[in-house]
């Protein structure tokens, strides 16, 4: 039995998701959505993403993909590659009774996880900043849009944004993670 793998990502209109390993906008509404989609679940992220956050987030288990065996921050689980991280996250999700395993960045981890991803929870940020990390538009052959909510910039949001959910279209292969 496996738990669905979900990508959670905020993407500018031009596909940019970051610059210098940092977020490039302030959207409290998106951070609240991120919290609701990750709380009580084991999150998978790359080492640079973890280092940009700087600590484990409360109420969630953090699994960091790193090739550095000496990288062992307190309160964090590590895995040498994405396959090992997903396998560990699946075990933890089942133990926690979690309904999904969120993958939360960065760009390389997103690319590696995409073939096994069941859900994409995308925040489209209506701006076009310069950046050095991008996220592709979900392939409509593989993913169907299942929800969309447009929001004007709120008092603590730098830009307007749209929450867009995608689900993988049915496929005829067996489980991707066990």
**What is the domain-level CATH number for residue 91?**
3.40.430.10
| Residue reference for tokens 């592709």 | 136
Domain count, the chain: 1
How far is 117 from 7, CA to CA, in rounded Å?
A: 7
Residue 178 lies in a domain: no
Quote the pLDDT of residue 178. 46
- List the chain residues with pLDDT less than 50: 173-175, 178
How far is 151 from 147, CA to CA, in rounded Å?
A: 13
Domain that holds residue 145: 5-168
Strand (E) or helix (H) holding 84: helix 82-96
Quote the pLDDT of residue 22. 86
Residue 57 lies in a domain: yes
Quote the pLDDT of residue 176. 53
Residue 111 lies in a domain: yes
Residue 177 lies in a domain: no
Respond yes or no on whether the N-terminal peptide bond of residue 106 is cis (omega within 30° of 0): yes
Residue 59 lies in a domain: yes
Residue 91 lies in a domain: yes
Residue 173 lies in a domain: no
How far is 29 from 157, CA to CA, in rounded Å?
A: 7
Strand order in the sheet with 5-12: 77-79, 61-65, 42-46, 101-103, 5-12, 119-125, 161-168, 143-151
């Amino acid at each position: 039995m496996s738990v669905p793998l979900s990508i959670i990502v905020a993407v500018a209109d031009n596909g940019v998701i970051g610059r210098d390993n940092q977020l490039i906008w302030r959207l409290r509404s998106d951070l609240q959505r991120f919290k609701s989609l990750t709380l009580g679940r084991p999150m998978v992220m790359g080492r640079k993403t973890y280092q940009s956050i700087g600590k484990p987030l409360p109420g969630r288990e953090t699994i960091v993909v790193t090739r550095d065996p000496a990288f062992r921050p307190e309160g964090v689980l590590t895995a040498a590659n994405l396959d090992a991280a997903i396998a560990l996250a699946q075990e933890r999700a089942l133990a926690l009774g979690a309904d999904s395993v969120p993958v939360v960045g960065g760009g390389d981890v997103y690319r590696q996880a995409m073939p096994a991803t069941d859900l994409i929870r995308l925040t489209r940020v209506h701006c076009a900043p310069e950046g050095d990390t991008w996220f592709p538009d979900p392939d409509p052959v593989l993913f169907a849009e299942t929800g969309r909510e447009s929001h004007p910039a709120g008092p603590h949001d730098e830009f307007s944004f749209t929450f867009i959910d995608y689900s993988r279209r049915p496929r005829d292969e067996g489980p991707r993670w066990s």
